[in-house]
């Protein structure tokens, strides 16, 4: 459900496999390792990147993918989650789950008897983080000791997942956020215990100079996640000083630092939501569209890492 149970070697294997599968695809080599396998996509939350990534990854490897919306899989309304899990487990070889409650995810894992991949939940976003790590490795090579700064809500699923994965891979991870949006002390203690054992580090600060100094990666995210629309005005007030600008990128002191974002990003006024809340933009358009941005390499890597996850776990 998260990356807490994975060790650095396992994460490295996932990244190596994703890079290999990417090379195969670019060479038009399709071994179809998942032929005659059936994968269920259960999406209680809508998505663009997650859906297309798993769909294309499955098709490349010869698997059949069936998608189920929240309206079609009404957990706990007409049928219990555990009963649905047992039905899916009898006819599918894997489940891509994107939703809210961790308890639903745990029940799917317990009762389906097949691999269940967390494509986003309230607390974690591990499939995104695999794409993030692969992108950073593509740019900088060795991950060990690399400074990475996440800017935004320090308590959300993306910040949490990045912190967990970063310490496992030995990164120097920083969270730049408002004091009101810091991770809980208990959560930080748990992550730092892993960091001490594995060689990574985690810093949480509201000081841009401290967070950005020497950082190779500046990582942005929306200020209010899906389902938090009622908190937009509150988040704008808390985070308006943490918008990623050209000056913030320059504060890294590096010519080779890059910008990442898990998307969707509010960087212009080309959506109805952004026009309604023009101050919610977490990154300047010239950064998002500029030469330091690697956001669409990162987006593509969602597909390659999704493929690696399925190839390595489906039987």
Q: Which residues are catalytic?
A: 98, 125, 128, 221, 262, 302
Angle at Cα 225 formed by Cα 248 and Cα 303, nearest 5°?
Answer: 85
Are 96 and 312 in contact by the 8 Å Cβ rule? The answer is no
Spatial contact of 135 and 298, defined as CB atoms under 8 Å apart: yes
Which among 50, 75, 77 is positioned nearest to 65, based on CA atoms?
50
CA dist., res. 282 & res. 196, Å (int): 32
Q: Strands, E, within the chain: which ranges?
A: 38-43, 64-69, 94-98, 116-120, 147-151, 172-176, 201-205, 217-220, 258-261
Task: Identify each DSSP E strand in 168-265 by its residue range.
Answer: 172-176, 201-205, 217-220, 258-261
Q: How far is CA 251 from CA 212, 214, 216, 222, 303, in A?
A: 6, 8, 11, 21, 32
**β-strand partners of 189:** none
Q: Count CB-CB contacts under 10 A for residue 205.
A: 17
From the list 152, 34, 48, 150, the residue with the least C-alpha distance to 93 is 34
- Burial (0-12, 13-18, 19+ Cβ within 10 Å), 67: middle
291, 39 Cβ separation under 8 angstroms: no
């Amino acid at each position: 459900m998260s990356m807490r149970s994975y060790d650095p070697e396992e994460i490295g294997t996932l990244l190596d496999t994703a890079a290999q599968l990417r090379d195969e695809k670019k060479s038009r080599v399709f071994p179809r390792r998942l032929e005659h396998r059936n994968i269920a996509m259960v999406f209680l939350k809508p998505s663009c990147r997650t859906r297309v990534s798993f769909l294309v990854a499955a098709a490349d490897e010869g698997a059949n993918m069936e998608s189920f919306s929240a309206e079609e899989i009404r957990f706990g309304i007409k049928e219990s989650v555990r009963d649905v899990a047992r039905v899916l487990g009898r006819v599918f070889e894997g489940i891509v789950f994107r939703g809210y409650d961790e308890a639903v995810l745990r029940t799917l894992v317990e009762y389906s008897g097949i691999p269940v991949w967390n494509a986003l939940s309230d607390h974690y976003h591990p499939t995104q983080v695999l794409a993030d790590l692969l992108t950073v490795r593509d740019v900088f090579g060795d991950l060990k000791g690399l400074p990475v700064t996440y800017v935004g809500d320090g308590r959300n699923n993306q910040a949490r997942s990045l912190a967990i994965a970063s310490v496992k891979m030995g990164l120097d991870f920083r969270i730049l956020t408002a004091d009101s949006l810091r991770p809980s002390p208990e959560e930080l203690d748990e992550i730092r215990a892993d960091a001490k054992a594995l060689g990574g580090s985690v810093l949480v600060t509201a000081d841009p100079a401290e967070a950005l100094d020497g950082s190779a990666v500046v990582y942005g995210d929306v200020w209010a996640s899906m389902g938090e629309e009622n908190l937009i005005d509150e988040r704008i007030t808390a985070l308006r000083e943490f918008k990623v600008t050209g000056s913030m990128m320059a504060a890294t002191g590096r010519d080779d630092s890059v910008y990442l974002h898990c998307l969707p990003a509010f960087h212009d006024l080309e959506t109805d939501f952004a026009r309604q809340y023009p101050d919610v933009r977490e990154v300047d358009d010239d950064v998002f569209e500029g030469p330091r941005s690697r956001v669409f390499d990162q987006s593509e890597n969602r597909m390659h890492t999704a493929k690696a996850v399925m190839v390595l776990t489906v039987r």
